[in-house]
Structure 1
Amino acid sequence: MSILIDNDTKLAVAGITGREGSFHTLNNRAYGTNVVGGINPKKAGENVEGIPVFANWADTVAETGANTAMIFVPPPFAAASALEAAEAGVELVVIITEGIPAHDELKLYNTVKAKHPGTRLIGPNCPGLLSPGKANVGIIPASFFKEGNVGVVSRSGTLTYQIGNELAQAGFGNSSIVGIGGDPVPGSSFIDIIELFEQDDQTELIVMSGEIGGSAEEEAAEYIKANVSKPVVGYIAGFTAPAGKQMGHAGAIVSGSAGTAAAKAEALEAVGVQVGRTPTQVAKIAMEILGA
Protein backbone atom coordinates (compact mmCIF):
# COMPACT_ATOMS: atom_id res chain seq x y z
CA MET A 1 0.00 0.00 0.00
CA SER A 2 0.89 3.68 0.19
CA ILE A 3 -0.78 6.74 1.60
CA LEU A 4 -2.66 9.55 -0.18
CA ILE A 5 -1.45 8.87 -3.75
CA ASP A 6 -1.16 5.63 -5.72
CA ASN A 7 -1.97 4.08 -9.10
CA ASP A 8 -5.55 5.37 -8.84
CA THR A 9 -4.48 9.01 -8.54
CA LYS A 10 -5.94 11.31 -11.21
CA LEU A 11 -3.97 14.54 -11.05
CA ALA A 12 -4.96 17.97 -12.34
CA VAL A 13 -2.75 21.04 -12.03
CA ALA A 14 -3.67 24.68 -11.53
CA GLY A 15 -0.94 26.74 -13.15
CA ILE A 16 -0.04 24.02 -15.63
CA THR A 17 0.80 26.53 -18.37
CA GLY A 18 3.44 28.38 -16.33
CA ARG A 19 7.12 27.51 -16.51
CA GLU A 20 7.35 25.73 -13.14
CA GLY A 21 3.89 24.22 -13.37
CA SER A 22 4.44 22.66 -16.79
CA PHE A 23 7.95 21.44 -15.95
CA HIS A 24 6.93 19.57 -12.80
CA THR A 25 3.62 18.38 -14.23
CA LEU A 26 5.43 16.72 -17.12
CA ASN A 27 7.98 15.24 -14.70
CA ASN A 28 5.14 13.79 -12.65
CA ARG A 29 3.60 12.31 -15.79
CA ALA A 30 6.94 10.90 -16.92
CA TYR A 31 7.20 9.13 -13.55
CA GLY A 32 3.90 7.39 -14.24
CA THR A 33 1.39 9.62 -12.48
CA ASN A 34 -1.93 9.82 -14.30
CA VAL A 35 -2.14 13.54 -15.16
CA VAL A 36 -5.64 14.17 -16.51
CA GLY A 37 -5.84 17.95 -16.91
CA GLY A 38 -4.84 21.46 -16.00
CA ILE A 39 -6.53 24.74 -15.14
CA ASN A 40 -5.98 28.19 -16.63
CA PRO A 41 -9.09 30.31 -17.33
CA LYS A 42 -7.26 32.27 -20.05
CA LYS A 43 -6.06 29.18 -21.92
CA ALA A 44 -9.04 26.83 -21.68
CA GLY A 45 -9.26 24.57 -24.71
CA GLU A 46 -5.51 24.45 -25.23
CA ASN A 47 -3.24 21.62 -24.09
CA VAL A 48 0.21 21.11 -22.59
CA GLU A 49 1.83 18.25 -24.51
CA GLY A 50 -1.50 16.51 -24.79
CA ILE A 51 -2.81 17.38 -21.32
CA PRO A 52 -6.09 19.31 -21.75
CA VAL A 53 -6.49 22.73 -20.12
CA PHE A 54 -9.82 23.72 -18.59
CA ALA A 55 -11.29 27.01 -17.40
CA ASN A 56 -12.00 25.98 -13.80
CA TRP A 57 -11.91 23.13 -11.32
CA ALA A 58 -15.59 22.21 -11.71
CA ASP A 59 -15.15 21.60 -15.45
CA THR A 60 -11.92 19.70 -14.87
CA VAL A 61 -13.48 17.32 -12.36
CA ALA A 62 -16.60 16.83 -14.48
CA GLU A 63 -14.59 16.02 -17.61
CA THR A 64 -11.72 13.99 -16.15
CA GLY A 65 -12.73 12.68 -12.73
CA ALA A 66 -9.68 14.33 -11.17
CA ASN A 67 -9.30 13.36 -7.51
CA THR A 68 -6.00 15.13 -6.78
CA ALA A 69 -5.06 18.78 -7.29
CA MET A 70 -1.63 20.38 -7.48
CA ILE A 71 -1.47 24.15 -7.06
CA PHE A 72 1.26 26.15 -8.81
CA VAL A 73 -0.75 29.39 -8.88
CA PRO A 74 1.03 32.62 -7.77
CA PRO A 75 0.69 33.48 -4.03
CA PRO A 76 -2.13 36.06 -4.24
CA PHE A 77 -4.43 33.56 -5.98
CA ALA A 78 -3.25 30.17 -4.72
CA ALA A 79 -5.59 29.84 -1.73
CA ALA A 80 -8.60 30.68 -3.91
CA SER A 81 -7.61 28.01 -6.42
CA ALA A 82 -7.18 25.43 -3.66
CA LEU A 83 -10.60 26.29 -2.25
CA GLU A 84 -12.15 26.04 -5.71
CA ALA A 85 -10.68 22.54 -6.04
CA ALA A 86 -12.18 21.54 -2.69
CA GLU A 87 -15.55 22.97 -3.71
CA ALA A 88 -15.39 20.84 -6.87
CA GLY A 89 -14.97 17.73 -4.73
CA VAL A 90 -11.26 17.06 -5.17
CA GLU A 91 -10.15 14.73 -2.36
CA LEU A 92 -6.48 15.77 -2.10
CA VAL A 93 -5.18 19.30 -2.70
CA VAL A 94 -1.39 19.72 -2.74
CA ILE A 95 -0.25 23.36 -2.60
CA ILE A 96 3.31 23.82 -3.84
CA THR A 97 3.17 27.64 -3.90
CA GLU A 98 5.23 29.47 -1.30
CA GLY A 99 4.69 33.00 -0.06
CA ILE A 100 0.93 32.74 0.42
CA PRO A 101 -0.22 35.32 3.01
CA ALA A 102 -0.75 33.66 6.40
CA HIS A 103 -4.26 35.13 6.63
CA ASP A 104 -5.18 33.44 3.34
CA GLU A 105 -3.77 30.14 4.61
CA LEU A 106 -5.78 30.36 7.82
CA LYS A 107 -9.00 31.21 5.99
CA LEU A 108 -8.46 28.35 3.54
CA TYR A 109 -7.73 25.84 6.32
CA ASN A 110 -10.79 26.82 8.36
CA THR A 111 -13.13 26.91 5.36
CA VAL A 112 -12.06 23.52 4.03
CA LYS A 113 -12.27 21.96 7.48
CA ALA A 114 -15.77 23.34 8.10
CA LYS A 115 -17.36 23.03 4.65
CA HIS A 116 -15.34 20.39 2.78
CA PRO A 117 -14.25 17.75 5.32
CA GLY A 118 -13.77 15.21 2.52
CA THR A 119 -10.82 17.21 1.16
CA ARG A 120 -7.31 16.89 2.59
CA LEU A 121 -4.86 19.77 2.19
CA ILE A 122 -1.09 19.26 1.93
CA GLY A 123 1.08 22.40 2.12
CA PRO A 124 1.32 25.29 1.31
CA ASN A 125 5.02 25.78 0.61
CA CYS A 126 5.69 22.07 0.34
CA PRO A 127 7.47 19.70 -2.07
CA GLY A 128 4.43 17.44 -2.40
CA LEU A 129 4.20 13.65 -2.12
CA LEU A 130 5.83 10.57 -3.57
CA SER A 131 4.72 6.97 -3.36
CA PRO A 132 7.65 5.19 -5.07
CA GLY A 133 6.63 3.01 -7.97
CA LYS A 134 3.10 4.42 -7.97
CA ALA A 135 2.78 8.20 -8.24
CA ASN A 136 4.62 11.48 -7.75
CA VAL A 137 2.71 14.71 -7.08
CA GLY A 138 4.96 17.71 -6.63
CA ILE A 139 8.64 18.52 -7.00
CA ILE A 140 10.30 15.62 -5.16
CA PRO A 141 13.18 14.19 -7.26
CA ALA A 142 11.75 10.70 -7.55
CA SER A 143 14.90 9.08 -8.95
CA PHE A 144 16.42 9.11 -5.44
CA PHE A 145 13.86 6.71 -4.06
CA LYS A 146 12.64 3.16 -4.38
CA GLU A 147 9.65 1.30 -2.98
CA GLY A 148 9.99 -0.02 0.56
CA ASN A 149 8.75 0.07 4.12
CA VAL A 150 9.88 3.43 5.56
CA GLY A 151 7.38 6.29 5.67
CA VAL A 152 8.83 9.81 5.73
CA VAL A 153 7.06 13.02 6.76
CA SER A 154 8.92 16.32 6.78
CA ARG A 155 8.42 20.07 7.13
CA SER A 156 11.39 20.80 4.87
CA GLY A 157 11.59 19.91 1.21
CA THR A 158 15.36 19.78 1.10
CA LEU A 159 15.53 17.63 4.22
CA THR A 160 12.88 15.37 2.73
CA TYR A 161 15.22 14.67 -0.17
CA GLN A 162 18.36 14.39 1.96
CA ILE A 163 16.93 12.02 4.55
CA GLY A 164 15.22 9.95 1.86
CA ASN A 165 18.49 9.71 -0.03
CA GLU A 166 20.39 8.73 3.12
CA LEU A 167 17.85 5.97 3.73
CA ALA A 168 18.16 4.82 0.11
CA GLN A 169 21.95 4.67 0.39
CA ALA A 170 21.50 2.58 3.53
CA GLY A 171 19.43 0.14 1.51
CA PHE A 172 15.90 1.16 2.50
CA GLY A 173 12.93 2.01 0.32
CA ASN A 174 9.93 4.14 1.14
CA SER A 175 6.23 3.42 1.35
CA SER A 176 5.42 7.11 0.90
CA ILE A 177 7.18 10.43 1.39
CA VAL A 178 5.10 13.46 2.41
CA GLY A 179 6.33 17.04 2.64
CA ILE A 180 3.85 18.97 4.78
CA GLY A 181 5.53 22.36 4.30
CA GLY A 182 7.07 24.89 6.64
CA ASP A 183 4.42 27.61 6.78
CA PRO A 184 2.65 28.63 10.03
CA VAL A 185 -0.70 27.13 8.91
CA PRO A 186 -0.09 23.73 7.29
CA GLY A 187 -3.05 21.97 5.74
CA SER A 188 -1.92 18.67 7.30
CA SER A 189 0.17 18.22 10.41
CA PHE A 190 2.71 15.63 11.50
CA ILE A 191 -0.08 13.97 13.46
CA ASP A 192 -2.34 13.72 10.41
CA ILE A 193 0.33 11.96 8.35
CA ILE A 194 1.68 9.79 11.16
CA GLU A 195 -1.85 8.52 11.73
CA LEU A 196 -2.00 7.41 8.09
CA PHE A 197 1.39 5.70 8.34
CA GLU A 198 0.29 3.89 11.50
CA GLN A 199 -2.67 2.47 9.56
CA ASP A 200 -0.63 1.57 6.45
CA ASP A 201 0.37 -2.08 6.19
CA GLN A 202 3.40 -1.33 4.00
CA THR A 203 4.94 1.14 6.45
CA GLU A 204 7.02 -0.54 9.17
CA LEU A 205 8.99 2.46 10.38
CA ILE A 206 8.19 6.18 10.39
CA VAL A 207 10.76 8.96 9.98
CA MET A 208 9.64 12.42 11.10
CA SER A 209 11.82 15.35 10.05
CA GLY A 210 11.03 18.54 11.95
CA GLU A 211 12.62 21.91 12.45
CA ILE A 212 12.72 24.80 14.87
CA GLY A 213 9.67 26.98 15.45
CA GLY A 214 6.13 26.23 16.55
CA SER A 215 4.98 23.25 18.60
CA ALA A 216 4.13 20.67 15.93
CA GLU A 217 6.85 18.25 16.97
CA GLU A 218 5.93 18.40 20.67
CA GLU A 219 2.28 17.77 19.77
CA ALA A 220 3.35 14.86 17.59
CA ALA A 221 5.32 13.41 20.51
CA GLU A 222 2.19 13.30 22.67
CA TYR A 223 0.23 11.70 19.85
CA ILE A 224 2.93 9.09 19.22
CA LYS A 225 2.97 8.19 22.91
CA ALA A 226 -0.76 7.55 22.99
CA ASN A 227 -1.50 6.18 19.52
CA VAL A 228 1.49 4.84 17.57
CA SER A 229 2.76 1.28 17.82
CA LYS A 230 5.35 1.45 15.04
CA PRO A 231 8.90 2.67 15.68
CA VAL A 232 9.45 6.36 14.93
CA VAL A 233 12.80 8.02 14.24
CA GLY A 234 13.08 11.79 14.45
CA TYR A 235 15.30 14.55 13.13
CA ILE A 236 15.15 18.24 14.08
CA ALA A 237 16.88 20.86 11.94
CA GLY A 238 18.19 23.96 13.66
CA PHE A 239 20.24 23.00 16.71
CA THR A 240 22.62 25.89 16.01
CA ALA A 241 20.03 28.43 14.85
CA PRO A 242 20.03 31.77 16.73
CA ALA A 243 16.90 32.58 18.75
CA GLY A 244 14.53 35.18 17.34
CA LYS A 245 15.66 34.88 13.72
CA GLN A 246 13.50 33.35 11.00
CA MET A 247 15.38 30.53 9.29
CA GLY A 248 14.05 30.01 5.78
CA HIS A 249 10.51 28.86 6.49
CA ALA A 250 7.87 31.25 7.77
CA GLY A 251 7.20 28.85 10.64
CA ALA A 252 10.85 28.37 11.57
CA ILE A 253 11.36 31.07 14.15
CA VAL A 254 12.16 30.54 17.83
CA SER A 255 10.98 32.85 20.59
CA GLY A 256 12.61 32.38 23.98
CA SER A 257 12.99 28.72 24.92
CA ALA A 258 9.88 27.57 23.03
CA GLY A 259 10.30 25.83 19.70
CA THR A 260 14.02 25.12 19.96
CA ALA A 261 15.57 22.03 18.44
CA ALA A 262 16.71 20.88 21.87
CA ALA A 263 13.21 21.20 23.33
CA LYS A 264 11.68 19.29 20.44
CA ALA A 265 14.28 16.52 20.60
CA GLU A 266 13.73 16.23 24.35
CA ALA A 267 9.96 15.90 23.91
CA LEU A 268 10.35 13.19 21.28
CA GLU A 269 13.01 11.25 23.17
CA ALA A 270 10.83 11.33 26.30
CA VAL A 271 8.23 9.21 24.49
CA GLY A 272 10.74 6.75 23.04
CA VAL A 273 11.45 8.36 19.67
CA GLN A 274 15.14 8.18 18.81
CA VAL A 275 16.27 11.53 17.39
CA GLY A 276 19.24 11.67 15.04
CA ARG A 277 21.38 14.79 15.07
CA THR A 278 22.22 14.43 11.36
CA PRO A 279 20.41 12.82 8.41
CA THR A 280 23.16 10.20 8.28
CA GLN A 281 22.52 9.31 11.92
CA VAL A 282 18.79 9.03 11.19
CA ALA A 283 19.52 6.44 8.50
CA LYS A 284 21.84 4.57 10.87
CA ILE A 285 19.14 4.42 13.57
CA ALA A 286 16.58 3.24 11.02
CA MET A 287 18.95 0.51 9.88
CA GLU A 288 19.46 -0.66 13.46
CA ILE A 289 15.71 -0.75 14.18
CA LEU A 290 14.67 -2.53 10.98
CA GLY A 291 17.66 -4.84 11.15
CA ALA A 292 16.61 -5.92 14.62
Structure 2
Amino acid sequence: MAILIDKNSKILVQGITGKSGLFHTQQCRDYGSQIVAGVTPGRGGIHVEGIPVFNTVAEAVHYTGATVSMIFVPPAGAADAILEACDAGLDLAVCITEGIPVRDMVLARAIQERSKTLLVGPNCPGVITPGQCKLGIMPGYIHKPGKIGVVSRSGTLTYEAVKQLSDMGLGQSTCVGIGGDPIIGMKFIDVLKKFNDDKDTEAVFMIGEIGGAAEEQAAEWIRDNMKKPVAAFIAGVTAPTGKRMGHAGAIITGGKGKAEDKIKTLQECGVVVSTSPTRMGEAMATALKK
Protein backbone atom coordinates (compact mmCIF):
# COMPACT_ATOMS: atom_id res chain seq x y z
CA MET A 1 0.00 0.00 0.00
CA ALA A 2 1.13 3.57 -0.60
CA ILE A 3 -0.17 7.12 -0.53
CA LEU A 4 -0.32 9.48 -3.52
CA ILE A 5 1.60 7.33 -6.04
CA ASP A 6 2.27 3.68 -6.78
CA LYS A 7 3.47 1.42 -9.60
CA ASN A 8 0.31 2.09 -11.58
CA SER A 9 0.66 5.90 -11.62
CA LYS A 10 0.85 7.35 -15.13
CA ILE A 11 3.07 10.41 -15.11
CA LEU A 12 3.56 13.35 -17.44
CA VAL A 13 6.45 15.78 -17.08
CA GLN A 14 5.88 19.51 -17.59
CA GLY A 15 9.18 21.00 -18.71
CA ILE A 16 10.58 17.69 -19.98
CA THR A 17 12.72 19.31 -22.66
CA GLY A 18 14.75 21.37 -20.17
CA LYS A 19 18.08 20.08 -18.89
CA SER A 20 16.89 19.33 -15.34
CA GLY A 21 13.51 18.06 -16.49
CA LEU A 22 15.00 15.55 -18.91
CA PHE A 23 17.73 14.37 -16.52
CA HIS A 24 15.31 13.64 -13.67
CA THR A 25 12.72 12.17 -16.03
CA GLN A 26 15.32 9.61 -17.07
CA GLN A 27 16.21 8.92 -13.43
CA CYS A 28 12.57 8.38 -12.51
CA ARG A 29 11.95 6.13 -15.50
CA ASP A 30 15.06 4.09 -14.68
CA TYR A 31 13.64 3.62 -11.17
CA GLY A 32 10.50 2.10 -12.66
CA SER A 33 8.10 5.04 -12.83
CA GLN A 34 5.65 5.07 -15.74
CA ILE A 35 6.55 8.25 -17.62
CA VAL A 36 3.96 8.37 -20.39
CA ALA A 37 4.28 11.93 -21.70
CA GLY A 38 6.07 15.24 -21.62
CA VAL A 39 4.65 18.74 -22.04
CA THR A 40 6.48 21.73 -23.50
CA PRO A 41 4.48 24.42 -25.33
CA GLY A 42 5.64 24.71 -28.91
CA ARG A 43 7.50 21.39 -28.88
CA GLY A 44 4.51 19.12 -29.37
CA GLY A 45 5.01 16.25 -31.81
CA ILE A 46 8.61 15.43 -30.95
CA HIS A 47 9.88 12.56 -28.81
CA VAL A 48 12.63 12.79 -26.18
CA GLU A 49 14.20 9.52 -25.10
CA GLY A 50 11.20 7.77 -26.62
CA ILE A 51 8.68 9.83 -24.64
CA PRO A 52 6.05 11.74 -26.67
CA VAL A 53 5.91 15.48 -26.07
CA PHE A 54 2.66 17.49 -26.24
CA ASN A 55 1.92 21.21 -26.34
CA THR A 56 -0.58 21.12 -23.48
CA VAL A 57 -1.34 19.03 -20.40
CA ALA A 58 -4.92 18.47 -21.57
CA GLU A 59 -3.62 17.04 -24.84
CA ALA A 60 -1.19 14.74 -23.01
CA VAL A 61 -3.95 13.51 -20.69
CA HIS A 62 -6.28 12.85 -23.63
CA TYR A 63 -3.79 10.72 -25.55
CA THR A 64 -1.96 8.94 -22.70
CA GLY A 65 -4.34 8.78 -19.73
CA ALA A 66 -1.80 10.47 -17.45
CA THR A 67 -3.11 11.25 -13.95
CA VAL A 68 -0.02 12.75 -12.29
CA SER A 69 2.31 15.60 -13.24
CA MET A 70 5.92 16.26 -12.30
CA ILE A 71 6.74 19.94 -12.87
CA PHE A 72 10.21 21.20 -13.84
CA VAL A 73 9.04 24.46 -15.43
CA PRO A 74 11.30 27.51 -14.70
CA PRO A 75 10.11 29.83 -11.88
CA ALA A 76 8.47 32.47 -14.09
CA GLY A 77 6.08 29.94 -15.60
CA ALA A 78 5.77 27.32 -12.87
CA ALA A 79 2.63 28.70 -11.21
CA ASP A 80 0.88 28.68 -14.59
CA ALA A 81 2.06 25.08 -15.05
CA ILE A 82 0.40 24.15 -11.74
CA LEU A 83 -2.83 25.78 -12.89
CA GLU A 84 -2.68 23.95 -16.21
CA ALA A 85 -2.35 20.64 -14.35
CA CYS A 86 -5.38 21.55 -12.23
CA ASP A 87 -7.38 22.61 -15.28
CA ALA A 88 -6.67 19.24 -16.90
CA GLY A 89 -8.14 17.46 -13.88
CA LEU A 90 -5.03 15.57 -12.78
CA ASP A 91 -5.13 13.73 -9.45
CA LEU A 92 -1.72 15.02 -8.34
CA ALA A 93 0.83 17.67 -9.34
CA VAL A 94 4.32 17.59 -7.83
CA CYS A 95 6.18 20.86 -8.39
CA ILE A 96 9.95 20.60 -7.96
CA THR A 97 10.68 24.18 -9.12
CA GLU A 98 12.43 26.49 -6.65
CA GLY A 99 12.14 30.28 -6.68
CA ILE A 100 8.53 30.76 -7.78
CA PRO A 101 7.45 34.33 -6.87
CA VAL A 102 5.26 34.29 -3.76
CA ARG A 103 2.65 36.48 -5.45
CA ASP A 104 2.31 33.90 -8.25
CA MET A 105 1.88 31.08 -5.73
CA VAL A 106 -0.76 32.94 -3.72
CA LEU A 107 -3.01 33.01 -6.78
CA ALA A 108 -2.12 29.51 -7.95
CA ARG A 109 -2.75 28.03 -4.52
CA ALA A 110 -6.13 29.74 -4.21
CA ILE A 111 -7.26 28.28 -7.54
CA GLN A 112 -5.68 24.86 -6.92
CA GLU A 113 -7.55 24.47 -3.62
CA ARG A 114 -10.84 24.66 -5.51
CA SER A 115 -9.81 21.93 -7.97
CA LYS A 116 -9.62 18.14 -7.57
CA THR A 117 -5.83 18.22 -8.02
CA LEU A 118 -3.62 17.66 -4.99
CA LEU A 119 -0.41 19.72 -5.02
CA VAL A 120 2.93 18.76 -3.49
CA GLY A 121 5.52 21.54 -3.42
CA PRO A 122 6.79 23.76 -4.89
CA ASN A 123 10.49 23.77 -3.95
CA CYS A 124 10.36 20.14 -2.90
CA PRO A 125 12.28 16.91 -3.61
CA GLY A 126 9.09 15.10 -4.64
CA VAL A 127 7.36 11.88 -3.65
CA ILE A 128 8.59 8.28 -3.68
CA THR A 129 6.94 4.97 -2.92
CA PRO A 130 10.03 2.76 -2.61
CA GLY A 131 10.21 -0.09 -5.07
CA GLN A 132 7.25 1.23 -7.04
CA CYS A 133 7.44 4.84 -8.20
CA LYS A 134 9.77 7.82 -7.87
CA LEU A 135 8.53 11.29 -8.71
CA GLY A 136 11.22 13.90 -8.08
CA ILE A 137 14.92 14.38 -7.45
CA MET A 138 15.61 12.12 -4.47
CA PRO A 139 18.27 9.37 -4.75
CA GLY A 140 16.20 6.24 -5.21
CA TYR A 141 18.79 3.73 -4.03
CA ILE A 142 18.68 4.80 -0.35
CA HIS A 143 14.95 4.02 -0.06
CA LYS A 144 13.70 0.58 0.93
CA PRO A 145 10.10 -0.68 0.85
CA GLY A 146 8.55 -0.86 4.30
CA LYS A 147 5.99 0.60 6.69
CA ILE A 148 7.40 3.94 7.86
CA GLY A 149 5.86 7.04 6.32
CA VAL A 150 8.13 10.08 5.96
CA VAL A 151 6.98 13.70 5.56
CA SER A 152 9.43 16.58 5.44
CA ARG A 153 9.94 20.28 4.70
CA SER A 154 13.63 19.65 3.96
CA GLY A 155 14.99 17.77 0.98
CA THR A 156 18.49 16.99 2.20
CA LEU A 157 17.36 16.00 5.68
CA THR A 158 14.80 13.68 4.13
CA TYR A 159 17.61 11.78 2.45
CA GLU A 160 19.56 11.61 5.71
CA ALA A 161 16.54 10.33 7.64
CA VAL A 162 15.68 7.76 4.98
CA LYS A 163 19.26 6.45 4.88
CA GLN A 164 19.24 6.01 8.66
CA LEU A 165 15.85 4.28 8.57
CA SER A 166 16.92 1.96 5.75
CA ASP A 167 20.20 1.09 7.50
CA MET A 168 18.18 0.11 10.59
CA GLY A 169 15.90 -2.13 8.54
CA LEU A 170 13.00 0.34 8.73
CA GLY A 171 11.73 0.58 5.15
CA GLN A 172 9.37 3.30 4.00
CA SER A 173 5.79 3.14 2.71
CA THR A 174 5.91 6.56 1.01
CA CYS A 175 8.16 9.60 1.49
CA VAL A 176 6.68 13.04 0.81
CA GLY A 177 8.76 16.21 0.58
CA ILE A 178 6.20 18.97 1.06
CA GLY A 179 8.62 21.81 0.28
CA GLY A 180 10.06 24.73 2.18
CA ASP A 181 8.38 27.73 0.55
CA PRO A 182 5.93 30.00 2.41
CA ILE A 183 3.08 28.98 0.07
CA ILE A 184 2.85 25.25 -0.60
CA GLY A 185 0.22 22.67 -1.45
CA MET A 186 -0.13 19.72 0.93
CA LYS A 187 0.97 20.51 4.48
CA PHE A 188 2.04 18.24 7.32
CA ILE A 189 -1.51 17.55 8.47
CA ASP A 190 -2.70 16.69 4.96
CA VAL A 191 0.00 14.04 4.62
CA LEU A 192 -0.36 12.78 8.21
CA LYS A 193 -4.08 12.16 7.57
CA LYS A 194 -3.23 9.95 4.60
CA PHE A 195 -0.61 8.02 6.57
CA ASN A 196 -3.07 7.64 9.45
CA ASP A 197 -5.60 6.07 7.07
CA ASP A 198 -3.08 3.86 5.27
CA LYS A 199 -3.32 0.36 6.76
CA ASP A 200 0.22 -0.51 5.69
CA THR A 201 1.90 2.53 7.27
CA GLU A 202 2.74 1.64 10.89
CA ALA A 203 4.55 4.82 11.99
CA VAL A 204 5.63 8.23 10.68
CA PHE A 205 8.82 10.27 10.77
CA MET A 206 8.32 14.02 10.38
CA ILE A 207 11.02 16.59 9.58
CA GLY A 208 10.34 20.25 10.25
CA GLU A 209 12.35 23.43 10.47
CA ILE A 210 12.15 26.98 11.75
CA GLY A 211 9.55 29.40 10.44
CA GLY A 212 5.77 29.39 10.53
CA ALA A 213 3.52 27.33 12.78
CA ALA A 214 2.94 24.21 10.66
CA GLU A 215 4.82 21.93 13.04
CA GLU A 216 2.88 23.12 16.09
CA GLN A 217 -0.40 22.66 14.24
CA ALA A 218 0.69 19.17 13.18
CA ALA A 219 1.67 18.32 16.77
CA GLU A 220 -1.78 19.22 18.06
CA TRP A 221 -3.41 17.21 15.28
CA ILE A 222 -1.19 14.22 16.13
CA ARG A 223 -2.17 14.47 19.80
CA ASP A 224 -5.88 14.51 18.98
CA ASN A 225 -6.08 12.17 15.97
CA MET A 226 -2.99 10.10 15.20
CA LYS A 227 -3.35 6.38 15.82
CA LYS A 228 0.28 5.58 15.00
CA PRO A 229 3.68 6.42 16.57
CA VAL A 230 5.35 9.60 15.33
CA ALA A 231 8.97 10.69 15.66
CA ALA A 232 10.38 14.00 14.45
CA PHE A 233 13.38 16.22 13.96
CA ILE A 234 13.33 20.03 13.84
CA ALA A 235 16.16 21.81 12.01
CA GLY A 236 17.42 25.28 12.88
CA VAL A 237 17.98 25.24 16.65
CA THR A 238 20.92 27.66 16.28
CA ALA A 239 19.35 29.86 13.59
CA PRO A 240 19.36 33.61 14.44
CA THR A 241 16.11 35.58 14.42
CA GLY A 242 15.36 37.38 11.15
CA LYS A 243 17.86 35.45 9.01
CA ARG A 244 16.48 33.12 6.34
CA MET A 245 18.07 29.71 6.56
CA GLY A 246 18.01 27.76 3.29
CA HIS A 247 14.31 27.75 2.47
CA ALA A 248 12.23 30.83 1.78
CA GLY A 249 9.87 29.80 4.57
CA ALA A 250 12.58 29.03 7.12
CA ILE A 251 12.79 32.32 8.96
CA ILE A 252 11.98 33.32 12.52
CA THR A 253 9.91 36.50 12.57
CA GLY A 254 8.11 38.33 15.32
CA GLY A 255 9.48 35.94 17.91
CA LYS A 256 7.59 33.05 16.30
CA GLY A 257 8.76 29.97 14.45
CA LYS A 258 11.64 29.08 16.78
CA ALA A 259 12.92 25.50 16.77
CA GLU A 260 12.78 25.17 20.56
CA ASP A 261 9.09 26.12 20.59
CA LYS A 262 8.31 23.54 17.93
CA ILE A 263 10.27 20.85 19.78
CA LYS A 264 8.52 21.63 23.06
CA THR A 265 5.06 21.45 21.47
CA LEU A 266 5.83 18.18 19.69
CA GLN A 267 7.11 16.57 22.87
CA GLU A 268 4.09 17.76 24.85
CA CYS A 269 1.89 16.13 22.21
CA GLY A 270 3.59 12.75 22.53
CA VAL A 271 6.02 12.90 19.62
CA VAL A 272 9.55 11.51 20.10
CA VAL A 273 11.92 14.28 18.95
CA SER A 274 15.47 13.52 17.83
CA THR A 275 18.09 15.74 19.45
CA SER A 276 20.46 15.46 16.47
CA PRO A 277 20.23 14.89 12.71
CA THR A 278 22.51 11.88 13.27
CA ARG A 279 19.96 10.20 15.56
CA MET A 280 16.76 10.37 13.55
CA GLY A 281 16.64 6.62 13.01
CA GLU A 282 17.09 6.05 16.75
CA ALA A 283 14.19 8.39 17.50
CA MET A 284 11.94 6.42 15.13
CA ALA A 285 12.97 3.15 16.77
CA THR A 286 12.17 4.63 20.19
CA ALA A 287 8.73 5.78 19.05
CA LEU A 288 7.96 2.28 17.72
CA LYS A 289 8.64 0.81 21.18
CA LYS A 290 6.27 3.20 22.99
TM class by shorter chain equals over 0.9
AA aligned opposite 1:235: F
> CA–CA distance in 2 between the matches of 1:123 and 1:286?
25
1:201 to partner: Cα distance? 1.1
Q: Percent identity?
A: 50
Partner of 2:234: 236
> CA–CA distance in 2 between the matches of 1:287 and 1:133?
22
1:216-257, Cα deviation, whole Å (9 max, x unpaired): 001101111111110100100000111110001000000243
1:177 to partner: Cα distance? 0.4
> CA–CA distance in 2 between the matches of 1:278 and 1:105?
33
Contact in 1 for aligned 2:229/2:288 (Cα 8 Å): no
Instruction: Look up the SS of the partner of 1:94 in the other structure.
Output: strand
Counterpart selection for 1:192 from 190, 193, 216:
190
1:4-50, Cα deviation, whole Å (9 max, x unpaired): 00011000001101110000001101100000000011211111110
AA aligned opposite 1:102: V
1:285 to partner: Cα distance? 2.0
> CA–CA distance in 1 between the matches of 2:104 and 2:217?
24
> CA–CA distance in 1 between the matches of 2:281 and 2:239?
23
AA aligned opposite 1:182: G
Partner of 1:17: 17
1:128 and 2:126 aligned = yes
1:1-292 matches, within 5 Å, as 1-114=1-114, 116=115, 118-290=116-288
> CA–CA distance in 1 between the matches of 2:213 and 2:184?
12
Contact in 2 for aligned 1:79/1:104 (Cα 8 Å): yes
AA aligned opposite 2:221: Y
> CA–CA distance in 2 between the matches of 1:255 and 1:108?
25
> CA–CA distance in 2 between the matches of 1:285 and 1:237?
15
Structure 2, unpaired ranges of 5+: none
AA aligned opposite 1:53: V
Superposed CA RMSD in Å reads: 1.0
Contact in 2 for aligned 1:94/1:121 (Cα 8 Å): yes
Contact in 1 for aligned 2:243/2:252 (Cα 8 Å): yes
Contact in 2 for aligned 1:37/1:60 (Cα 8 Å): yes
Structure 1, unpaired ranges of 5+: none
Normalised by the length of structure 1, the TM-score is 0.97
AA aligned opposite 2:71: I
AA aligned opposite 2:20: E
> CA–CA distance in 1 between the matches of 2:251 and 2:287?
32
1:63 to partner: Cα distance? 0.4
AA aligned opposite 2:265: A
Instruction: Look up the SS of the partner of 1:43 in the other structure.
Output: coil
1:185-221, Cα deviation, whole Å (9 max, x unpaired): 1101000000000011111110010000000001101
Instruction: Look up the SS of the partner of 1:197 in the other structure.
Output: helix
Contact in 2 for aligned 1:233/1:275 (Cα 8 Å): yes
1:124-179, Cα deviation, whole Å (9 max, x unpaired): 00000000011000001110011001100000100110111111112210000000
> CA–CA distance in 2 between the matches of 1:222 and 1:290?
20
1:56-99, Cα deviation, whole Å (9 max, x unpaired): 01100000011000110010100101110110111100000000
- The size of the alignment, in residue pairs, is 290
1:291 to partner: Cα distance? 5.3
